[in-house]
Amino acid sequence: MNKPQDAVYTRIHTNGNDATFERIQDCTPIVESAKALHNAGMHGSSEMKHAARLPMVIVEKYCNEKKITFQEFMANDEHIRSVVNNPDNSMFRVWPGRI
């Protein structure tokens, strides 16, 4: 089966009346792309930096932990800064500076 590069899949696990949703994404192509962009110096301009390529599962995890919607995430730069500047997400960075 051919999978789109950024595809996110959902598995549903049930146990009686309980259900758990597992979100799955192969982040390897995103890490490789971010590294290639970094190595090529594709950091953007001084006015607009290309800081990172974030997988959707990372953004969803953050939104779930903070109990916010994706709209709230996108509307507030603090949320984006928090995810991009998190050292756990350094492999997704294109430009290494803090935003």
For the chain, the distance separating the N- and C-terminal CA atoms, rounded to the nearest angstrom, is 38
Domain that holds residue 69: 27-92
Domain assignment of residue 42, yes or no = yes
- Within a domain: residue 37? yes
65-81 confidence digits (pLDDT tens): 999 999 999 999 999 99
| In-domain check, residue 19 | no
Q: What is the mean pLDDT of the chain?
A: 93
The answer to whether residue 74 is domain-embedded is: yes
Percentage of the chain modeled with pLDDT above 70: 95
Asked if residue 47 belongs to a domain, the reply is: yes
Task: Return d(Cα 59, Cα 76) in angstroms, integer.
Answer: 13
pTM (2 d.p.): 0.83
Residue 15 lies in a domain: no
Would residue 20 count as lying in a domain? no
* Amino acid, single-letter form, for residue 91: M
Q: Quickly count: other Cβ atoms within 10 Å of residue 85's Cβ.
A: 15
**Residue 1 located in a structural domain:** no
Decide if pLDDT at 1 tops 90: no
